Amino acid sequence: MTNAYKRKKQPELVRKTLMEQALRIALEQGLHAVTVQAVADAAGVTKGGFLHHFASKQDLLDAIFHGLVGDLEARIDSLMASDGEAYGSFTRAYVEAVMEDGWEGDSPVKGGLSSLMIGDARMRALWADWYNRRQERHRDTDGAEELCLLRLAADGIWLARLSKVDLPDKAALRERLLQATRPLQEVG
């Protein structure tokens, strides 16, 4: 057995492990099962060790949420940067990010965001704030009602996949949503 007093301290690793274990518990058992003691036990630290990194369960959930949203935002920004057409670029990036492989219901990012939002009114408010700020930021290129509908359709697909609903061909759905983000070409 390793003596805790002689072990090299790795606070970032412990913090990351606490967040990963809390997310795993939320995905497997629901947000109600995420308790300070359950997360501490799963991460192999004491309750005091947990409280050294996070003052409360809510602080832990906030950190997880902001990390997951940050990952999503970084992916959307990356996709937008490579899009050569301004109109609908945010919507295309959002659809792509939501429907990418690796974003299935068991994905830590997508599943984690969903679990946190569904299970916690405060997290839903944080999500709404982030989403509304993004919409406002891209109002000039993505303010059309049709584009809003496409983003909401992507959200529906996200929830359906998380719920393991049988969907028609995912690639075809994705392509139809992406095509709908482009303005109609004039026939000459």
All domains of the chain, ordered by start, with CATH? 10-55 (1.10.10.60), 57-180 (1.10.357)
Q: Residue 153 belongs to what H/E stretch?
A: helix 145-162
Q: Is the per-residue pLDDT at 162 higher than 80?
A: no
pLDDT band at 163 (very low <50, low <70, confident <90, very high): confident
> What is the average pLDDT value for the chain, to the nearest integer?
85
Q: What's the predicted TM-score (pTM) here? A: 0.79
- Percent of the chain topping pLDDT 70: 85
Helix, strand or coil, per DSSP, at residue 129: helix
CB atoms within 10 A of CB 104: 13
Amino acid identity at 138 = H
Q: Is the per-residue pLDDT at 96 higher than 70?
A: yes
* Cα 8 from Cα 72, distance rounded (Å): 33
Per-residue model confidence (pLDDT) at position 14: 92
Per-residue model confidence (pLDDT) at position 184: 67
Per the CB < 8 A criterion, the answer to whether 89 and 141 are in contact is yes
Q: Is the per-residue pLDDT at 188 higher than 50?
A: no
Mean pLDDT over 76-83 rounds to 95
Per the CB < 8 A criterion, the answer to whether 51 and 80 are in contact is no
Please give the distance of CA 51 from its chain centroid, rounded to a whole number: 25
Per the CB < 8 A criterion, the answer to whether 91 and 151 are in contact is yes
Per-residue model confidence (pLDDT) at position 187: 39
* Cα 26 from Cα 36, distance rounded (Å): 12
| HSE value, Cβ hemisphere, 13 Å, CA-based, for 48 | 0
Closest residue by Cα to residue 14 from 41, 64, 50, 59: 50
First-to-final CA distance of the chain: 78
